[in-house]
Amino acid sequence: MKAADVRAMSLDQLDDEVLKLKKEQFNLRFQRATGQLENTARVRVIRRDIARMKTIAAQKRAGAEPVVKAEKKTKSARPKAAAKPRARATKSKKSKSK
């Protein structure tokens, strides 16, 4: 589920949806344990949806505005610092014992 869709929900709806997803997660764990799980990626999707909903619910309860990530910048115009050549490690001479 998209974050924008989740933000449009009320706190009660979020709590109900989290409960529903937790039940589905429980069922998926049993299916995986018994070897009946066909779509293994669904476990990951459910886990992330639960985390997303809990995060947004916590933000709403705190009254905080959601944080929007800034777009990644492309490569900067200034050149990178030149790499310094490394000193070579010298091999220690092993003493020969007879």
Residue-wise pLDDT for 58-93, tens only, equals: 999 998 765 666 666 666 666 666 666 676 766 666
User: For the whole model, what pTM was predicted?
Assistant: 0.62
Domains and their CATH numbers in the chain: 3-62 (1.10.287.310)
Residue-wise pLDDT for 5-32, tens only, equals: 999 999 999 999 999 999 999 999 999 9
Which amino acid type is present at position 73? Answer: K
Location of structure tokens 């985390």: 51
Residue 87 CA, chain-centre distance (Å), reads: 40
